[in-house]
Structure 1
Amino acid sequence: MKIAIVDDEAEARKELQLVLHSCGLELVEQAELYPFASGEEFLAGFRPDSFQLVFLDIRMQGINGIETARLIRKQAAQLPIVFLTSSADYALEGYQVFPAGYLLKPVGKVRAQLLDILQRCLPEASSVLTVQLNGRALQIARARIAYVDVKGNRRVGGRRGCVVHLLTGRELAVDSSYPEVAAALRSADFVECYNHLLVHFAAVEQLLADGFELKNGERVPISRRLYRETSHDYMEYLLRK
């Protein structure tokens, strides 16, 4: 994919490029990044299919970010635009061009917010889970995950890791902690049905009186405390599908 960064500050462009290349989303980390020093420079060669995502600094010399966004919208109504700003003063005016989000500079201090925006406006970027295994990054397709728990007593660097259970029955004991993995998988399709057990609804074959039977034949429990809420969430998931 191609991402444009439009900002008249060279250091700001460089910082955002570094943050995007280490954000943890493979699609974004491998994207082609195109820096532009002004709205005029960006618009000179812009076409509706030029980019899949645009970062726009609001306060620029010449054509500012909001005016640049208005001109983009005349050609590309659905293109995700993320505003960069050092102040929230322009938020109301900016919403007239339907941005995907706002990031306060410096972006290095709002990585979590950036990741949230990327996952919302680029759904395909969230198709993998990135974990740490033996000190290296490992990416697992979410569609392959049945559930995640803290089986055993695996500890890495003084803290407990977790186990990612795949639909094939394979178990991956990873270094990433359960809270880290649960936060990364936070969506309507992954729900904690038991203490430190996160199940993937797409892996469920049927709802039982005390748990789930999975498509690979395994069974995972649902706590009595969470049964009503979990079963309701599962029914809503089935209706969406």
Structure 2
Amino acid sequence: MKIAIIDDEQQAREDLQQALQLCGIKNVIQAEVQMFTSGENFLQVFKPEDFQLIFLDICMEGINGIKTALAIRQQAERLPIIFLTSSADYALEGYQVFPAGYLLKPINRAVPQLKDILHHCLPDLMANIINVQRHGRMLQINIERIAYIDVQGGRRVGGRRGSVIHLQTGETMAVDTSYTEAATALEQRDFVECYNRLMVNLAAVETLMADSFVLKNGEQLPISRRLYRETAHEYMEYLLRK
């Protein structure tokens, strides 16, 4: 898990990081935490697939927390945002971005509240994780980071072939987990097999063509004639749900 803390007060950032360590939740304690001093600094580097949880101060110099959250929502509709505030008066305004919760400063007095919010968020966060084997070790990958999976370049491990996970950033990751195992884990998650041993994340698709998908990162994936009608139907159903 990767967590962002965005607050222009150093003490508030440090208090929250310490509170996360005291919350007693393994996935949170082991998470990678990145600190940002302003909404501008965060938005300059923000990619939806890079973070699973965001803590965001409402009152900051420059772009305030509400405007920062609105910019985040343009790229990530479901990414959990937890607002930090010194006054409950800002709560109503913040609800337009559907936050996962509010923490009232000082944070070191809000650890029980933090635990409640995290317990509420974590089932949804963990539901977006796929477990794969890589070099004999278990690896968790956020499903929203995946553009597609296939077997091109996959290694043979223990007499069977692994698969390749292609991230939306363009990076590739060869894993020991077979294509069949990975596809089974993803088939109920808005992924569809559009070609033989090639399964695409419909959320990564920019355009449906006559014989292919064009992805948001510019890649083009073929759609087989045999699977085209079913694939197009699944994509249209996905668009209607969204």
TM-score, normalised to structure 2's length? 0.51
Change (3 A) 1:72 1:108: same
Question: Offset at 1:21?
Answer: 1.4
Q: Which residue matches 1:47? A: 47
Counting only pairs closer than 5 Å after superposition, residues 28-43 of structure 1 correspond to structure 2 as: 28-43=28-43
Contact map agreement 1:59 1:85 (CA 8 A) in 2: yes
| 1:111 partner letter | V
Contact map agreement 2:52 2:125 (CA 8 A) in 1: no
Q: Which residue matches 2:2? A: 2
Change (3 A) 1:126 1:24: farther
Question: Offset at 1:80?
Answer: 0.1
> What secondary structure sits across from 2:103 in the alignment?
strand
Q: What's the CA shift string for 1:165-187, capped at 9, x where partnerless?
A: xxxxxxxxxxxxxxxxxxxxxxx
Q: Percent identity?
A: 64
CA distance in 1, matches of 2:126, 2:109: 21
Q: What's the CA shift string for 1:44-69, capped at 9, x where partnerless?
A: 01011110000000000000000000
CA distance in 2, matches of 1:125, 1:46: 18
Q: Establish whether residue 121 from structure 1 lines up as the match of residue 121 from structure 2.
A: yes
Question: Offset at 1:122?
Answer: 1.1
| 1:75 partner letter | Q
Q: What's the CA shift string for 1:15-47, capped at 9, x where partnerless?
A: 101110121000000000000000000000101
Number of equivalenced pairs: 127
> What secondary structure sits across from 2:49 in the alignment?
coil
Contact map agreement 1:21 1:29 (CA 8 A) in 2: yes
Counting only pairs closer than 5 Å after superposition, residues 84-99 of structure 1 correspond to structure 2 as: 84-99=84-99
Q: Which residue matches 2:165? A: none
Runs of 4+ in 1 over 2 A off after TM superposition: 124-127
| 2:103 partner letter | L
CA distance in 2, matches of 1:115, 1:107: 12
Q: Which residue matches 2:106? A: 106
| 1:87 partner letter | S
Q: What's the CA shift string for 1:129-186, capped at 9, x where partnerless?
A: xxxxxxxxxxxxxxxxxxxxxxxxxxxxxxxxxxxxxxxxxxxxxxxxxxxxxxxxxx
> What secondary structure sits across from 1:21 in the alignment?
helix
More helix by proportion, 1 or 2? Answer: 2
| 1:46 partner letter | F
TM-score, normalised to structure 1's length? 0.51
Change (3 A) 1:125 1:111: farther
Computing the radius of gyration over CA atoms, which structure comes out larger, 1 or 2? 1
CA distance in 2, matches of 1:59, 1:69: 12
Q: Which residue matches 1:152? A: none
CA RMSD of aligned residues (A): 1.6
Change (3 A) 1:17 1:44: same
Q: What's the CA shift string for 1:174-213, capped at 9, x where partnerless?
A: xxxxxxxxxxxxxxxxxxxxxxxxxxxxxxxxxxxxxxxx
CA distance in 1, matches of 2:85, 2:7: 10
- Unpaired runs of 5+ in structure 1? 128-241
Q: Establish whether residue 67 from structure 1 lines up as the match of residue 64 from structure 2.
A: no
> What secondary structure sits across from 1:60 in the alignment?
coil
Question: Offset at 1:124?
Answer: 6.9
